[in-house]
Amino acid sequence: MKKTFWLTLTSVTVFALAALVLAALPAQAAGPKEVKIGNILPLSGPSASVGIQNQRAIELATEKINAAGGIKSLGGAKLVNIFTDSKGDPNVGVTAAEQLINTDKVSLVSGAWNSAVTLPSTQVAERYQVPYVVPVSVNDTITERGFKYTFRIAAKDSWWAQDQFKFLDEQKKLTKTTLKTIAFVYENGDWGTGMAKQWDILAKKYGYQVVLNEAYPSTASDLTPVVMKIKTKKPDVILLTSNAADAILLTNTMATMKVKAKAIIGTGGGHADPSFRKNTGKNCEYMFDVVEWETDLGRPQIPSLNAEFKKRYGYDLAGESVDAFASVYVIADAIERAKSADPKKIRDALAVTNLCVGKGKLGIDILSYDCVQFDETGQNKNAGIVLVQFQNVKGNMERVTVYPNKVARKGFKAIFPMP
């Protein structure tokens, strides 16, 4: 009898306590204390160096946002990043996405740099209806599959080619140069042949005569035959897509064989590699290159942020780390407006993002274009690309931003046609 009494009393107490705790919980969680962001990046393997740069940019941006009071509509909730290593492997990336969404219960996923990882991992997020922000992965297809939960900040692959032609068109009118013939010279991998296809379409549209369409092996021991061909075709414009070694060899061989053109434009990659400038010296002067971002852009906040980044990590900001940095601001803004850590609400807020330069968002103020806005496919429709020209600035060969005009380096303009 006594035993039953104690047993009843204990169970009642336990239940009452449990009920109390349960009742108290929602009160405590009126706003979540933190919002979890799952990041998938190549932190080891061949693309590790760029993956780690992105990670650091994300950490720095998150730190700045949290220090400034976190998400104000959620009572100052902090952003918390969970980083998982994709090793640049699509399979690992898919597992990482599953784990972040199911186990870590993140509100949103970000990543994955390698297009090959981004493609399948965004599929996972789409299935679970969790928004996936892609700072950089340039493959066109990523935002062309009708996905509702994928948002990309960087420009697509095909936009690089478009900007090359837009730039040529502008210069043609501005300097009254006649540009009729064009040559495509590119490495014979996926990237080069993809670019060449875009060029071919655009050349027709802009009325150029394609006199040379030349794929070469990136590991070539001698590019003189290719250069000879360029020389005999005498194109007005030469468009290049090269990796580091071949960009150097091609440029130096063109100088030796005295190849002249009115404009030579690279497509990032090898031409953007620091070793290119070092190893071609005077031979690269007046060549153009396309890139998503450059440290000399005419944005006043860049120098101080770059100095802070460099002091902490030992190297300059680069286009890709800037996109990663900006992505955290885009994410924070969406959560702020969603007033919730719920993935679906964040997705709806992301879709109507309208973040512009000059509104006190550091991550946006350093971009080369004015506003981040996503179109119905989730692509940032304003994402732009800048053109740089290799110019001799006080004895140093520098990459000088010359296009678009509003972000061009102060006091510099394109020297066109190439002397």
Binding other proteins by CB under 8 A: which of 9, 228, 307, 352? 228
Taking residue 399's Cβ as centre, other Cβ atoms within 10 Å add up to 24
Q: Are 123 and 109 in contact (CB under 8 A)?
A: no
Binding other proteins by CB under 8 A: which of 44, 99, 177, 283? 283
Stretch that binds other proteins, among 88-96, 111-119, 216-224, 382-390 (CB under 8 A): 216-224
Binding other proteins by CB under 8 A: which of 199, 216, 369, 374? 216
CA 38/CA 110 separation, integer angstroms: 6
Stretch that binds other proteins, among 129-137, 252-260, 389-397, 401-409 (CB under 8 A): 252-260
Give the position of tokens 């599929």: 123
Binding other proteins by CB under 8 A: which of 73, 162, 213, 306? 213
Stretch that binds other proteins, among 79-87, 174-182, 246-254, 399-407 (CB under 8 A): 246-254
In order of 9, 185, 230, 348, 395, the CA distances from 168 in angstroms are 85, 17, 19, 39, 27
State the pairing for strand pair 34-41/108-111.
Answer: parallel
100 touching other proteins, by CB under 8 A:
no
390 touching other proteins, by CB under 8 A:
no
46 touching other proteins, by CB under 8 A:
no
The residue among 154 and 226 lying less far from other proteins, judged by its C-beta, is: 226
CA 399/CA 289 separation, integer angstroms: 9
The residue among 81 and 283 lying less far from other proteins, judged by its C-beta, is: 283
Helix, strand and coil in the chain, % to nearest 5: 50, 20, 35
Report the run of H or E that residue 79 belongs to, with start and end: strand 78-85
CA 77/CA 75 separation, integer angstroms: 6
The residue among 75 and 189 lying less far from other proteins, judged by its C-beta, is: 189
Distance of alpha carbon 183 from the chain centroid: 28
178 touching other proteins, by CB under 8 A:
no
217 touching other proteins, by CB under 8 A:
yes
Which residues of this protein are in contact with other proteins, per CB under 8 A? Answer: 188, 213-217, 219-226, 228-229, 232, 244-245, 248-249, 252, 255-258, 275, 278-281, 283
